Each structure stands twice: as structure tokens, then as C-alpha cells.
Amino acid sequence: MDTTLHATPPAAAPAGPHAVSGDSALAAEAARRRTFAVISHPDAGKSTLTEALALHAHAIGEAGAVHGKGNRRGVVSDWMDMEKDRGISITSAVLQFAYDGTVVNLLDTPGHADFSEDTYRVLAAVDAAVMLVDAAKGIEPQTFKLFEVCRARGVPVITVVNKWDRPGLDALAIMDELSTRIDLHPMPLTWPVGVAGDFHGVLDCATGDFVQFTRTPGGATEALAKRMSAAEAERLLGSVWTDAVEEYDLLRSSGHDYDHELFLSGAASPVLFGSAVLNFGVRQLLDTLVTLAPAPGARPDQAGTPRPVTAPFSGFVFKIQAGMDRAHRDRLAFVRVCSGQFTRGMVVTHAQTGRPFATKYAQSVFGRDRSTLDEAFPGDVIGLVNANALRVGDTLFAEEKVAFPRIPLFAPEHFAVARAAVTGKQKQFRRGIEQLGEEGVVQVLTSDRRGAQAPVLAAVGPMQFDVAKHRMEHEFGAPIRLETLGYSVARAVPAAVTSIVDSRPGAEALVREDGMHVAVFADKWRLASVEKDLPPGSLTPIFG
């Protein structure tokens, strides 16, 4: 059997701030980074898994749960009030921690389809993804969509079948779903011993050993794991063990052994089984990430030319978030380091304006918590405080000029006019709406017809409006009223023909905050009717 899973992880670099010199030292720092996102359909256990990974890396002392009980706290990656109230992830979160000589940059993402744009931005900043599948539900619609984004971006995927401690589907049936529904060749690294709901542990497919799990109270601390030989497992479990071995042998005989090149190409996925809420199988996932997930590599610039990790510093903004520090009401720009060494205080160039940008206030992020960051290397995520000049998709560089591809916006499908609920709060209203647009919470559209007092908020899903309303009231002190508009289709349109669009019923021309002219229509039939009166090719898809 393949033993790649047990390869020796990269050696740890010296602790604390230190200057590296030479390409080999930079390459070594990049080689010990693993930057990945956790993606899933809502309620598959994504945030719980994020917490469990941090627990097993000893980055936290005790795991929480999305729906905490008693004195058990909520997960560290879900820090917004709305996330705690609703028990879902609304915004992505970054956690950096060390594990076995490796620096792990873990990005938790929203699972709900309404927040797809935030997830897409995160997937632009990672080198791999962990796709969580609910054992009882299998491949769900949002899981499929997120995987398609990974495939389009060339992001290799590790699959984790979660909630095996609860009744669910047959393990072979889930493998078949991966193969037939999303055309992903499954390569099990662990195989469940016991059917879903009767979870004893896993067969380690690389060694043939049995790893037995014993739960701890509430699953708040690491599960106890005991490794034993196949002979010991058979004496202990009898037919439960032999059934698991026979199932895996059946898969193996069908060509499901691990193939590293197939994994990196995105055609196949390593598969592990576990229970995040009980911390079963979490250490196996961490070990897999360290040994199999790709380290940061050369990233193509706008022209398609790969920029090696040993080039001078460069990075791009993939997320902007305000409201993390209520005491200071500051705004944080999240920057993925693509090449070179970052040192706090260095002056870099903002590619979009050509202006110098000081980095004195650089921070490392762990959920909501932040600490001063002195250095970073390819794969790391830097938090730049009060970086008001930066926008999502912007590039920062030192010495050698570079600009990375912009992160496109999705085509919105829901539209509402926003108005200040309190007339004396116009200044706060304008500032808040502008900031929500810059962060990508919603897209902000304006027109001469409606004026600045009544911008149109555009969203992929209606829950984005709930977030906008909540933040406008609680962060900016400017409650808003939303009036839903009857539009459902958006297209990019040249400025020269916007007057024609505006003259037709069931259609309207607006301008997005980045200057793009957007035509919105009541439905696809209204779009087709207006399109007949425009020059060919005037209406083009925005994205998605």
C-alpha cells in the first residue's frame, strides 16, 4: 500500500522574527506552509471541524460548538453576533497556528449559498480545500457548486465524510456519489470501522492498522486514539472489522489507491472519515494536510506569468472586514502573501494606484483575535489595519512590479433600495453603505434617477440584506429601510446604450461602485425583449 500519508513533515524553522537570506531559505519557509479553506453545504459541521483542527494543533485548549450548551463557548471562527444567534457562518475567518513543524493557515468559509462571493474570494487565496460531506446527506447542492469553483480555480480537494457517529448513508454509496455526481475519483486514506451511527474507529489504509477512538465528555477535548494491528482489531471487533476490510479491499481492487499526481491535478480526492463534534479522525486530517496538501507555489500574474515564491514580496487583498474590534471600529484588509518575505513596517507599492503603502500596523489573525505580526512568508495571511485605500483584489508588491488577477464579482439576483430610517443620520448612512460595498457585503449601485440618498443594494442571496441591515444599525448607528425591487437578472452594459435600457418598462440602468454600468431586468424575458433594441453584444454576463 502507498505510505505517502506517513511521510516526514518539513522541519520547523527557528522561532521568532528572523530575516531570511537567499532563495533557498525563502523556498524552505514557503515549503512549510499549508494554506487551505474548509468548504461545505450549510450545517455539514464546517465550523466545528475548524475548531477541532485548532484543538488538535494545541492552538486552543478546548473546543466549542456552534450551538454551545451550558458553559461551552461558541466556535472561535464564528465571532459575529448574527453568526452566534443563527448558528451559521456568515463571513470567512482566518486561523493561523503551528502543527508538527508546519505553519497552518486555515480559512473557514460561509456554507450558505447567499454568501458564495465571500467563499469564492477565499478560494482565490488558498492552495487546497477540505470539502466536508455530511454522512447522512451525501453530496448536497452547495457542496457541488463549491467543488466546481475549486475545479475551475485548480484547487485540489481533500474530502472528509463527517458525522459518522450518526446514522447515515453507506460508505460505498458515498464513494459512488463522489464518482458519479461530481466526477471526482475517491481515494480513501481511512475507512470507517462500523456503519454510520456505530463508529468504532478507522482502518488506516496505508498500514492496515486499526485506529480506535474513545470519546471524551462533550467532545470538548481531544478524543483518545489507540492504534492496534489488524489481528488485534479482528479479535476485538470480529465481523465489524472484517466487513470494513472487505469494503476497502473492494475499492482498492477497483483502482482507488492513493495517487499524488491525480490529487494535485484535481481529478481525484483523498477521503477520510470522522466526526468533528467528537474530534474523531481530526488528527488524521491534520497529518494528511501536512504531508499531502501542496505548499505555496508560483502564482500567475495578470499576464499569466508565474511569479515564483522566491521573488520579492508580493500579495493580494482577498477580503476586507470591519467590526472585528468594537473598541476601535477599525477595518482589516486580509492579504495573502504570494512571494518573498514580509516584514512589518516595510514600505510596499499599491499596484492599482502606484502609491507607496506603509505596513506599520500588520497583524496575525486567529478568528476575531489579533496580535502584532513581525514577518510573514508565502502562504501566510497578513491583516493590515485601517488600510482604507485597499480594495478586494488589489495587489501590493516590493521592488519588482506585479499585479495579480482581479477577483470577479458575481452577478446579483436580488435588489433593494436602501434609505436611511433616521433623517439626521445621512452622514453615517453614506459612510456605512460605502464601506459595506468596499467589503463586498453587498454590491452598491447608483443612478441619477434615484440619487445618492437611495442607492440600490444588489446581492447574490437575500441573507446578505439581513447582514447589511444589522451592521448598518449596530456598527454605523444608521438603521435603514429596504424596499425590494422586482429585478432578478443583471448584465454589464456599455454606457452609450443605458438610456435605451432606462426607457423600457421592467428594466433599469445603474452604475456599480467600481464604475461598471449594470442593466437590471425583471426576468429573462424582459432582458430578451430589450436586447432586441440594442446593438449586438451590448449585454454581457457579469460573472458566475
How does strand 190-193 pair with strand 489-492? unpaired
Nearest-angstrom CA–CA distance, 296 and 33: 7
The gap from C-alpha 539 to its chain's centroid, in whole angstroms, comes to 31
Dihedral, 335, 341, 346, 350 alpha carbons, nearest 10: -40
Whether the Cβ atoms of residue 107 and residue 133 lie closer than 8 Å to each other: no
| 112 labeled binding residue | yes
Would you call 296 exposed, middle or buried from its count of C-beta atoms within 10 A (0-12, 13-18, 19+)?
A: buried
The gap from C-alpha 160 to its chain's centroid, in whole angstroms, comes to 16
The gap from C-alpha 392 to its chain's centroid, in whole angstroms, comes to 15
| 111 labeled binding residue | yes
DSSP state letters, 322-355: E-S-TTTT-EEEEEEEEES-EETT-EEEETTTTE
Closest among 213, 228, 209, 226 to 278, alpha carbons compared:
213
| 219 labeled binding residue | no
* Cell numbers describing residue 111: 456554507
Whether the Cβ atoms of residue 402 and residue 410 lie closer than 8 Å to each other: no
| 260 labeled binding residue | no
List of residues 6+ apart from 431 with CB closer than 8 A: 476
Nearest-angstrom CA–CA distance, 23 and 378: 12
| 301 labeled binding residue | no
In the annotated binding site, the residues are 108-112
In the annotated binding site for GTP, the residues are 108-112
